Structure 1
Amino acid sequence: MSNKRISMSDIVLGQPLQWDIYGNDGNLLLRRGFVVSSTNQVETLIERGLYVDGNQLDQARDKKPFLKVVEQPSVVRIITQVRNELRTLSYNLTPEIQAREKFLALAKQVVIATFLDADVALGCILLHQEGNYSARHCVDSAVVAILIARALKKTEEEIIFIAAACLTMNLSMLRQQERLQEKSDGLLPEDQELIFRHPQESVQQLMTVGVKDEHWLTWILHHHENEDGTGYPLKKKSAEIPQNSKIISIADRYCARVCSRSYRKSMLPNAALRDILIGGKTTVDLMLVTLFIRELGTYPIGTFVKLESGEIGVVTSKGATTTTPNVHSLIGPRGAPLLAPIKRDTQKTLHAIREVLHRDQVQIRFSMRQLWGDVASQ
């Protein structure tokens, strides 16, 4: 038998092998027909050598073009695309462009991305803050709202409409929001008035371009109302406010707090959660906030932390409890960057979280793909 070497790109993930695969020592590793389901399996094979029977290889190539690895969907790419398309759509609304269908299509993409890998979707909020703020904030809020809605076991259709409401909640002030984002000297009376009016004006703008769904419009109209009646624009109280408006409101508040501004640092994620819980005792639905914290954890995904070992890393997934997430260390205890991220369980005493850090305290460049693999490719 004449063996020929193949590479990782010669294997199609999720499809049966076209040939038997042998290692460097000539021993059979996998039989033809075996389905390789992950890049980790391929990498393990590469370490042992990838050889096939030359005759089998030639026969497979004669039957059809040689196959390549199927690219895995990327949550980061989906979210980036939605951010860009949302900005373009929102800035160019006319009654002729079927805005309702396009906003719903974008909402579905955010739902798909969040369901595909919720950890990566949440990670984008803190680790992927590039691009236009106004569109990014709406997409980030949609991710959080989707997770809360899913925890409440809402239907997929309702979740899509909740996401659509998040994407369009600030529609009437998107352009001005960029200007307000850069202000460092406080809001002028006309700026404050713009903010107070935006729920009603966003609803009116959506109706003008063909959105007639009462629930969608109602959720936007009430997303700045407070439990105690101090919100706007209608001073509604507790039971008068739709639950989905409350979900959108909590997601909106959290994402606004953890985003950096030109005139102030972003809040640390755990401090943002505490601020919403403690500072909003009379203004937010505490049952929903408790659920929200349970879903995000005390240290939300994307949070930078220092461990008791002295290592510095980033929270990448939930752990056994809300206070003990899994962390990937990026910097060793002596301050040197690690060759590759190392997963740490913060339940263990040596790897317990000592403190939370701002991003600018972590002097290392890395990609989300290094933490989560291809599903976080940019």
Structure 2
Amino acid sequence: MTIRRLTRSDLRVGELLAWNVFGENGALLARKGFMPSSDAQADSLVERGYVDDPAVPAPAGASTEPPSVLRLLNHAVAELEPLLHRIAAGGAGVQAELEQVALLVAQAVEIHPEVAAACILHNQRAAPYAVRHCIDTAVVAQIVARAVKRPAAEMQSMTLAALTMNVALLRLQDERGTLSDEEKALVRSHPERGVALLRQAGVTDPLWLDCVQSHHENEDGSGYPRALVGDAIALPAKLVALADRYCARVSDRPYRKPMLPNAALRDILLEARHALDAQLGAVLIRELGIYPVGTFVRLLNGEVGVVSRKGLNSTTPWVQSFIGPRGAPLDVFLQRDTRGDLSSIRDVLSADQVDANIRMDQVWGRTALP
């Protein structure tokens, strides 16, 4: 017997459930024999549910718990950092190891894309920005690529490009915000220098290299280094560019506070009018939601919580409240459906405005164990 994600093919409206369905934290969501009465109810169970399926044998010694997305991404960060420094120093023979890092990212997104997206907001101390940002970008690029059903081989090349896009810029990314003229020139040339370093390291995949070279190109030709326009930019490169810009906006830097996630998405929407692919920008917002998972919010009833998962539409996510209306921490987190009048979202808050230190597993259960 093994625990697996519930899928839409496992249940039909008007038919009895064959298993007990559990949430990420082990809470019972629906008992065996429960009958979903609507597509919305079935979709809600699929979004959150795990089942004990005796038809799927677990390997000897295997854990029956869903793997932790947070652990997978932290492992990816730890593996990526020395590889990037090796490439930057002119080293070779790293492709197989980079492919393993890409696999860790893909596994994390496959297990739970919403928790993977929440890690971008809640796991910013895991590594220096220069390394963590590459993992974050790969996560978002994967989420959007899956939504638009890109081929697996293309997604692999795109993910490897996201992991290595700034290999020629490592020393600058965690430093001050004001750059000298020489440093600005290094920034402008880093896509081409990155490609040269990757070629030196033995990378020959043309799509991987093209994505690295093109991740600062803009739809209107205002980007660099080649001032490409529209369809001259490969779609995987557009995905990396989109993810790169969102993740950079919501990241805490030594010289700049992060943007609120909803404000970052609004910026992306504005940028999509000229610099980014408008259709991909719309998919990003649809997949993350107007209030991305992991966003701190204050509800109309005065409670403070965190967006824990997407709702039935992009403006009404589910929230776990952890501070009561009078400002006292709650002993037990409360799940709120923001479609309700008193539970609707009033404000989006920064981490600095939230007087609480919550762990990811308190909100997302076993899939976010440290």
TM-score normalised by the chain length of structure 1: 0.81
Which residue matches 1:139? 135
Q: How has the CA–CA distance of structure 1 residues 68 and 82 changed in structure 2, closer, same or farther, with 3 Å as cutoff?
A: closer
Q: Among residues 91, 112, 115, which one is paired with 2:110 in the alignment?
A: 115
- Residues 278, 88 of structure 1: CA spacing in aligned structure 2 closer, same or farther, 3 A cutoff? same
**5 Å matches for 1:177-326?**
177-179=173-175, 183-184=176-177, 186-326=178-318
Larger RCO (CA within 8 A; separation ≥ 6): 2
Q: CA deviation at 1:245?
A: 0.7
CA distance in 2, matches of 1:217, 1:41: 41
Q: Which residue of 160, 164, 167 maps to 1:168? A: 164
Shift of 1:43: 7.6
SS in 1 for 2:203: coil
Task: State the Cα distance separating 1:340 from its structure 2 match.
Answer: 2.0
Residues matched between the structures, number: 323
CA deviations 1:89-122 (Å, max 9, x no partner) are 1112377753111111111110111110111100
- Contact kept in structure 2, 1:306 and 1:313, CA below 8 Å: yes
Say yes or no: does 1:90 pair with 2:84: yes
AA paired with 1:193?
Answer: A
When residues 37 and 268 of structure 1 are mapped into structure 2, their CA distance, relative to the original with a 3 A threshold, is closer
Q: Quick one: structure 1 residues 40 and 80, their matched pair in 2 at CA, closer, same or farther if it must change by over 3 Å?
A: closer
DSSP 3-state at the match of 1:350: coil
Query: Is residue 98 of structure 2 the alignment partner of residue 103 of structure 1?
Result: yes
**Matched AA of 1:100:** Q
1:126 and 2:146 matched:
no
Inter-partner Cα distance in structure 2 for 1:253 and 1:195: 15
| Aligned residues of 1:142 and 1:163 also touching (Cα < 8 A) | yes
Tell me, yes or no, if the aligned pair for 1:107 and 1:161 is still in contact at 8 Å. no
Deviations 1:144-199 (A, max 9, x none): 000110011112222122111100100111123222xxx14x22111111111110
Query: How far has the Cα of 1:220 moved from its partner?
Result: 1.1
**Cα contact 1:36–1:42 (8 A) shared by 2:** no
State the TM-score, normalized to the length of structure 2: 0.82
CA deviations on 1:186-236 (whole Å, 9 max, x unpaired) are 221111111111100111111111100011101111110011111000011
Alignment of 1:52-91 (within 5 A): 70-91=64-85
Q: Report the Cα distance in structure 2 between the residues aligned to 1:39 and 1:143, rounded to whole angstroms.
A: 23
8 Å CA contact 1:13, 1:36 repeated in 2: no
Change in 2 beyond 3 A, CA 1:13/1:158: same
Q: 2: distance between equivalents of 1:237 and 1:69?
A: 49
Does the 8 Å CA contact 1:104/1:161 hold for their aligned counterparts? no
Relative distance call for 1:191 and 1:330 in structure 2 (3 A) is: same
- The residue type paired with residue 126 of structure 1 is L
Unaligned stretches of 5+ residues in structure 1: 1-11, 16-34, 45-66
Q: Give the % identical residues.
A: 42
Q: 1:232 to 1:39 in 2, by over 3 A?
A: closer
Tell me: CA distance 1:41–1:129, structure 2 relative to 1, closer, same or farther (3 Å).
closer
Q: 1:37–1:196: structure 2 CA closer, same or farther, 3 Å change rule?
A: same
- SS of aligned partner of 1:349: coil
What letter is aligned with 1:109?
L
**Match in the other structure for 1:32:** none
Distance 1:157 1:307, change over 3 A: same
Structure 2: 5+ residue runs without aligned partners? 5-18, 29-60
> Is the 1:258–1:272 Cα contact (8 Å) retained in structure 2?
yes
Q: Are 2:359 and 1:367 aligned?
A: yes
User: CA separation of 1:318/1:37 partners in 2, compared to 1, >3 Å: closer, same or farther?
Assistant: closer
Quick one: structure 1 residues 222 and 304, their matched pair in 2 at CA, closer, same or farther if it must change by over 3 Å? Answer: same
Is contact 2:246–2:268 with CA below 8 Å preserved after alignment? yes
Paired position in structure 2 for 1:342? 334
Deviations 1:221-263 (A, max 9, x none): 1110011111000011111111111111010000000011222
- The secondary structure found in structure 2 opposite 1:306 is strand
SS at match of 2:342: helix
Instruction: Give 1 or 2 for the bigger CA radius of gyration.
Output: 1
